[in-house]
Amino acid sequence: MKNNSVNQEEAFFFEQGDSPLLVSMPHVGSKLCPSMEGKVTKLAQSSADTDWHVDRLYDFLGEMNISILQAKYSRYVVDLNRPTSGKSLYKNADETGLCPLTSFSGEQLYLSNCQPDKKEIISRIERYWQPYHNKLRQELERIKAKYGYALLLDAHSIKSIVPRFFEGSLPDFNFGTRDGMTAPNKLLQELVTIAKNSSFSTAENARFKGGYITKNYGSPDQNIIALQLELSQINYMDEEIFQYSPAKAALLQKPLRQIVQAFVDFYPK
């Protein structure tokens, strides 16, 4: 470990289960890093674009004995679902970068002349991005060694209305398999059907096709099946004050749990 580095246990929370599935939550963290102190706007301090309460929403994973990996730090520190190259994820689509300078609503995250320089960006990659990915890779390898294959669910949520990224309201369940590159269509259709049967709206490989994690780790040829699920926050929380709504969430958790179970039960061969 390098001097001053946050130790790996601090960059993420990890709980090892005993099933072929790993659930990754790269945007659930809302902490800012010490080097951002005094340099960011009020909006940044609120970590507004967090995948709020995704950990609570998936609180059944422990009972199902499923491995869980959760980021502790905000996507404003460094976005774990972006490549470190800083290259964009999708052609011709607006998106926030590796160390975003603006929020989803287009507001500045840094005070003037306080934006991270190259050295700071590299340091954030080393302290927060790399440990998460090392753990993710290690756990997929462990699962694969045990079962012969590994399944990865990259769990996200976003505000139902973000004009910067999509028109109108986002469907309730947004499944992404990079247009079928990271998971078989048979699995995708099975999960979509579960959501539809609970009267939720769905989209497949539409605006959210799967980010860097899905793309980088999903490789059916190598027996690693990956799928991103982007949920609309309107179905489980008050989007304005970031408050979890247990009553709303209960309705969403029913199909969500079934989806996770169907994913666990999927045998890729």
List residues binding Zn ion (CB under 5 A). Answer: 27, 51, 156
Smallest separation, CB 239 to Zn ion (Å): 14
Smallest separation, CB 199 to Zn ion (Å): 24
Question: What is the DSSP-derived secondary structure letter of residue 170?
Answer: P
Q: Which is nearer to Zn ion, 20 or 209 (CB)?
A: 209
Q: Which is nearer to Zn ion, 190 or 239 (CB)?
A: 239
Question: What is the DSSP-derived secondary structure letter of residue 206?
Answer: S
Q: CA separation (Å) from 180 to 20, 141, 214, 227?
A: 20, 22, 11, 9
Smallest separation, CB 51 to Zn ion (Å): 4
Give the pair of three-digit tokens for residue 213. 């994690």
Q: Which residues is 158 bridged to in the sheet?
A: 232
Q: Which is nearer to Zn ion, 27 or 178 (CB)?
A: 27
Q: Which is nearer to Zn ion, 51 or 139 (CB)?
A: 51
Contact 55, 24 (CB under 8 A): no
Question: What is the DSSP-derived secondary structure letter of residue 203?
Answer: E
Sole residue written with tokens 């929370």: 13
Smallest separation, CB 119 to Zn ion (Å): 27
Q: Which is nearer to Zn ion, 208 or 266 (CB)?
A: 208
Smallest separation, CB 32 to Zn ion (Å): 17
What are the DSSP E strand ranges found in the chain? Answer: 12-15, 21-25, 67-71, 150-158, 173-176, 202-204, 224-232, 237-238, 243-244
